Amino acid sequence: MAWQNEVTDGKRFEFGSNWKSFLENISEEQIECSKIKLQEWLGDLKGKTFLDIGSGSGLHSLAARMLGAKVYSFDFDMQSVECTKYLKECYFPDDDDWQIEQGSILDNNYINSLGKFDIVYSWGVLHHTGFMWNALSNSLNVINNDGITYISIYNTQTYWTKYWTFVKKTYNISLVMKCLWKYFYIIFNTFKGAIKDLLLLKSPFKRYKEYKKQRGMSIYYDLIDWLGGYPFETAKPEEIFYFYKQNGFQLDKLYTAGGGMACNEFVFKKIT
Q: Where are the domains of the chain?
A: 2-156+232-270, 160-228
In angstroms, the CA 26 to CA 54 distance is 19
Dihedral angle computed from the Cα positions of residues 241, 159, 259 and 155, in that order, rounded to the nearest 10 degrees: 40
Residue 42 has a CB neighbour count (10 Å cut-off) of 21
Angstrom CA distances, 208 to 128, 146, 219, 260, 264, stand at 26, 39, 7, 20, 22
| Cα three-residue angle 42-228-218, rounded to 5 degrees | 50
CB-based burial label for 179 (10 Å; 0-12, 13-18, 19+): exposed
In the Cβ-directed half-sphere of 163, how many Cα atoms lie within 13 Å? Answer: 6
Which H/E stretch holds residue 142? none
Q: Provide the 8-state DSSP code for 102.
A: E
CB-based burial label for 1 (10 Å; 0-12, 13-18, 19+): exposed
Angstrom CA distances, 258 to 154, 196, 225, 236, stand at 11, 19, 21, 10
Q: From the options 1.20.58.1690, 3.40.50.1100, 3.40.50.150, 3.30.300.30, give the CATH code of 2-156+232-270.
A: 3.40.50.150
Question: 3-state DSSP call for residue 118?
Answer: strand
Q: Average pLDDT per run of 10 along the chain, which is 272 residues long?
A: 56 78 87 94 97 96 98 95 97 97 96 97 95 97 96 92 91 88 77 65 61 59 80 94 97 85 92 82
State residue 102's pLDDT score. 96
pTM comes to 0.85
State residue 194's pLDDT score. 64
State residue 258's pLDDT score. 75
